[in-house]
Amino acid sequence: MSTSTSHFALETVMEMEAPNGRPFEVSAVDLALDRTDGVLAEARFTFTIRSGDYGRLLRESLFQLSPENRGPLAAGFVADGDVQVEARLEDSLLPQVTLLGDDILTIGAAFASLPGGSQLLATESWCALSVTKEVLRDAEGGSLREGYSTLHASRGAGLSLSILAVAQAGFEEAGQDWYETLDDDVIRADVTGENGTWAIYAVAREQEGRCTLYAQAPWSTPAGCRAEMAETITRINYGLPVGNFEMDYSDGEVRFKTSVDVSGGRMTMALFEALLRRNMVAMDQYLPALEAVRDGRQSPEEAVRAVEEDA
């Protein structure tokens, strides 16, 4: 079985139709089509709306965003700028997409110029998957966004959340802001413990059914002491009940990893919270030992012993 995703940049204003017949204007961003063995399996539409229109979206439950479908974390979202929504087309309407053309270029152009009255322009033909806003734009034009995923974000019994959606919700539940990365399956949060501040990356590989958290030390190990750092990590890992430290010998990056395999099952908030808690505790506990060895203040044995005796 082969799968593929194609995108068409829309960059146009489109007029959707709400259930009450009133128009709902959106700035179209992207149309994405997923195909399995050449057959259209899913269509997703990404668009932005003004912050004032977000209130209407919620009041009228447009794009199937009724209160029960938003999820509890939506309550904390503040629309203080343009809001981006990614929505999925109802499966029963996929044949209408195929009638627009044979390839993404033809379909995308036809979609951008659909006439009024088309079912593909009805707000309720689409179910919102995520709602985000931009919080930072870097010098290279990259965008960091924060927001929430809805209960439409994953198919399955009980509208269970996708691994990525659970990770987003888990960070929010823990009071941690999360940001998108260049990898669509990876989000990042910056956390602060008693012994320092570091980044945690949540890697959500849906097809493999695996969620992995990496707590990355806020520095790299100098080349001259990587052997000592490797010994330190080995001493720490021996006896750890969950997770492990690891170092990239090529650049000295040190991180702590926790992971869970949910293939054949589903990711839950309880599982993610356990992964996150263990990940944060381990990095916060052993960061002083790692830094003592990095700086040459203690030997690996002394540094690990000092931390574990204080625990």
Q: What is the pLDDT of residue 137?
A: 55
pLDDT of residue 142: 54
Residue 237, pLDDT score: 96
| DSSP code, position 122 | B
Tell me the pTM. 0.53
Residues 52-100: tens digit of each pLDDT: 999 999 999 999 998 888 876 788 888 988 999 999 999 899 999 999 9
Domain 196-310 fold: Yope Regulator; Chain: A, (3.30.1460)
pLDDT score at 158: 38
Torsion sign across C-alpha atoms 90, 95, 96, 100: positive
Annotated domain spans of the chain = 3-153, 196-310
Q: Mean pLDDT of successive 10-residue segments in the chain (311 residues)?
A: 85 95 96 90 95 94 90 82 93 94 95 94 94 69 71 53 84 89 92 95 89 96 96 94 94 95 74 91 96 96 92 70
> What would the two tokens of residue 65 be?
């965003």
End-to-end CA distance of the chain: 51
Backbone angles phi, psi at 122, to 5 degrees: -80, 130
> Which residues lie closer than 8 Å to 207 by C-beta, 6 or more apart?
none
Strand, helix or coil for residue 170: helix
pLDDT at 219: 96
Burial of residue 134 (CB within 10 Å: 0-12, 13-18, 19+) is middle
Residue 29 CA to residue 308 CA, distance in Å, equals 52
What is the reported pLDDT for 268?
78
